[in-house]
Structure 1
Amino acid sequence: MPPRPGDALAAVAVGVVSAAGSVGAARHGNPAHPLDAAAFVLLAVGSAALLWRRVAPVTVLAVTLAAALAYLLRGYGIGPVFLPVVVAFLTAAPRLPRWPMYALPPIGYVLFLWGVPWATGREYPPVSAAVGVAAWLLTLVAVAEVIRQRREAIRARRQRARERARVAEEERLRRASEERLDIARELHDVLAHSLSMINVQSGVALELLDSRPEQAGVALASIKEASRDALVQVHAMLQSLRRGAETPPLTPPPSITDLDRLVARARDAGIEVATTVSGDTRPLPTAADLAAARIVQESLTNVARHSTQTAARVSVRYRSDAVEVQVDDDGPAHAPPGSGAGGGSGIAGMTERARALGGSLAAGPRPDGGFRVLARIPLSDTGSGAS
């Protein structure tokens, strides 16, 4: 990997300062050995190694230490020969474990202040110089720790940002999945209810076309109205999908508070629907109102599809914290009620609607015969206003 431009600039700057400082120290000091070509080669090696300090920090630190040690062992004097070592240490220490890195300054302290004079026969440094170097090394370790903490804070912020992005993406996918399920349920409820009533009315019309044409005409008129309403509702859904959720519906959604209007189409199809309402009738939260209305519609659709009976009873009970919807017919059923033709999703869709609002739905044969759908939907204002 080629060196970064910033690392190249830093290496050149350190090399210039090291060379100029060493020349100045040699002129004003009393080195055991005057500067020669080997001295400048060692200074250049220590500075040039900084080109790869980010790629191989440990190796670069070892090279700069070796160059500085060789420089002192040859007796060239002190000077700024340790500047490449400082830069290499501040690069490596924040990236590597604390224990081996922070052990290097004490080891180097003993090696350079007493080991080198012992090996070269030079005088040992005075106590004041030893204390000053120790304080300088402590400052160096503190700076390395500050850099480490800053790097860890930046890494933690980036990790949190990635986690927030991941959670946001999961939430977006979850909402998209829920929206697809909502659309599928709405389409199923609208089309299944309308088409089932059209199917019943068309059968009535065919049977009465010759013997009682006037009643066949009524059935055909109901077919026309049901198909028109279904087209309008599907068109409203498609417009909402194209323009966004803020687009107002073209037709008002069905409401459990208008029970006679809700069961009118089933009555037009020839099903005798008896309705009872108990409790304190009042406007419901939009989501609960729509779910209760769709459950009634789907239950009556199942009566038209699967039951041998032409009568059903719809009961709505308003509780203080919930609304209960019960639909009964006296069956027996031709096929599993709510399973839909060919294994559809009638009961599954009703159950999903109830559970999505924290409610419950039970559907199955009654002990005395017939079939019952019983749903309980909590009246929560979360995310919905009153209808």
Structure 2
Amino acid sequence: MSRRIVKVLAVDLPLAVFLGCIAISTTYATTRMGWPPAHGDWPSHPFSPEPVVLPLVCAGVLAACVGTAVRRLRQRIALAVTVSGATVALAGGGMLGPILLMVLLVLFSVALVHPLRAWAPLSLLFVPLLLAPRLGEPYFGLLDGRLLAGATFGLGLLCAAVALGAVARTRREGARSAREQELHRYAYEERLRIAREVHDVVGHSLSVISMQAGVALHVLDRRPDRIGPSLEAIRTTSRDALEELRGTLAVFRDPAAVPDRAPLPGLDRLSDLVSALAAAGRSAEVTVEGEPVRLPAAVDHTAYRIVQEALTNVVRHAGGSAAEVVLEYRQAGIGVMVTDSGPILPAEPPDEGNGLAGMRERALAVGGTFEAGPRTGGGFAVRAWLPVDRSRQ
């Protein structure tokens, strides 16, 4: 027996036994007291059957108890058994209250799990249930207005149980759908984040390797002594890129198996980017404005990746021009600007490729702004503002 079944029965079985004992004991007590009186001695009550057949009541209550106990395990079977048992118990003269409560509990459990169309045929069982208390009267008491009033009241309770179950089911399904959408959104954002990381790592590293390989080919015959440093730079860049790429992609294999991943790179590694460009014969000047402060990890990593991608674009598209990196530290955040002295470009905004789109997405992800475009005097400029919420630090 599964743990869920044990937990369900541990709650529902005692509840069913309790309600069954109340139903039988109240019926037995009223029988011992001479309830109901002989026909004609007092006005007949629409919920008081006569005469009382205690064995029949006990059999019906027992069946209703079984259905109540399994109402969360086999909903439709529980409904059929409970309603049938309740009908037998009421036909035998059982008291309506506890028996009706068991029916309402089971009906709520069915509506909580299944839509109405899934158990609509079982609703026919409620017809004899409503008529059972008046089996001894002509035409089942249909000519008695009090029966109609009592049947209307009982039908209203049954409809209320169905409505409550349907509302609870709708809310639960809505919450489950919201959770699934949240998981899908998280998975999409995680894939997008990893795609940006892979693009930045691979793009920058391949650009540096390509520059170093070009330098090695250029000095192959004239300056053989320059080949060694270029090859060493290629090896170092490729090794670092492979390590960072391996750590980024490890989450696809087993997220729980990589708890000791290296921290995300930040602006403290900016000197490595500049050194790699300088080793390949490209210059990059870094200017820091304001007092450097410790940035949140997300903002620090975003600033680093924007600078990295911007320098990669300088290498790819700006020929041999120099680059300038400006970091502007302010109390409210940090400004990042990367410019180059390349040729004059058309004034219209450039088509955003993966690089510019990735930088914009990174800036927006931390609540910042991003813009990029040609400079008036020639070259290209990338500007980003990344805010910092000091109240959370």
Q: TM-score, normalised by structure 1?
A: 0.65
Mapped to 2, the partners of 1:187 and 1:306 lie a distance apart of: 20
Q: Secondary structure at the match of 1:280?
A: coil
Q: What amino acid is the match of 1:143?
A: G
The equivalent of 1:242 in structure 2 is 253
Task: Give the AA of the match of 1:55.
Answer: P
Select 2:359's aligned residue among 339, 350, 364. Answer: 350
Specify the alignment match of 1:292 in structure 2: 303
Q: Residue 360 of structure 1 is aligned with which of 369, 384, 389?
A: 369
Matches of 1:335 and 1:354, distance apart in 2: 25
Q: How does 1:154-233 map to 2 (within 5 A)?
A: 154-233=165-244
The alpha-carbon deviation at position 14 of structure 1 amounts to 4.6
**Match 1:259 to one of 270, 277, 295:** 270
Matches of 2:374 and 2:252, distance apart in 1: 38
1:80 aligned counterpart, secondary structure: coil
Equivalent residue for 1:80?
136
User: How many equivalent pairs are there?
Assistant: 292
Amino acid of the structure 1 residue aligned with 2:279: D
> What CA distance in whole angstroms lies between the structure 1 residues aligned with 2:90 and 2:164?
32
Q: State the 1:59 CA deviation.
A: 11
Cα displacement string for residues 26-65 of structure 1 (whole angstroms, at most 9, x for unaligned residues): xxxxxxxxxxxxxxxxxxxxxxxxxxx9528589859x98
Q: Specify the code of the residue in structure 2 equivalent to 1:184.
A: A
Q: 1:270-349 to 2 correspondence within 5 Å? A: 270-332=281-343, 344-349=353-358
User: Residue 318 of structure 1 aligns to a residue in which SS?
Assistant: strand
Secondary structure at the counterpart of residue 336 of structure 2: strand
Higher alpha-carbon deviation: 264-273 or 136-145: 136-145
Structure 1: gaps of 5 or more residues = 22-52, 69-77, 86-107, 114-132
**1:378 aligned partner:** 387
Distance 1:143 1:268 in 2: 88
CA deviation map 1:306-333 (0-9, x unaligned): 1123311000011222211000101128
Q: For 1:221-258, what per-residue CA distance to the aligned partner results, in whole angstroms no more than 9, with x for missing partners?
A: 11111111111111112323323178346544321245
Larger deviation, residues 291-300 vs 357-366: 357-366
- State the Cα deviation string for residues 171-225 of structure 1 (Å, max 9, x = none): 1000000000000000000010000010011101100111111122211111111
Change (3 A) 1:201 1:83: farther
Q: Identify the residue that residue 30 of structure 1 maps to in structure 2.
A: none
Aligned equivalent of 1:42: none
1:5–1:222 distance in 2 versus 1, CA, 3 Å: closer
Unaligned residue ranges in structure 2 (runs of 5+): 1-75, 94-118
Q: Secondary structure at the match of 1:220?
A: helix
Q: Tell me, in whole angstroms, the C-alpha distance in 2 between the residues paired with 1:201 and 1:245.
A: 38
- Report if aligned partners of 1:308, 1:331 keep a CA contact under 8 Å in 2: yes
Kindly report the root-mean-square deviation, in angstroms, between the aligned alpha carbons of the 2 structures: 3.9
Over the matched positions of the two proteins, sequence identity in percent amounts to 36
Q: What's the CA shift for 1:303?
A: 0.8
Question: Equivalents in 2 of 1:275, 1:226: separation in Å?
Answer: 21
Equivalents in 1 of 2:89, 2:172: separation in Å? Answer: 41
1:198–1:227 contact (8 Å) kept in structure 2: yes
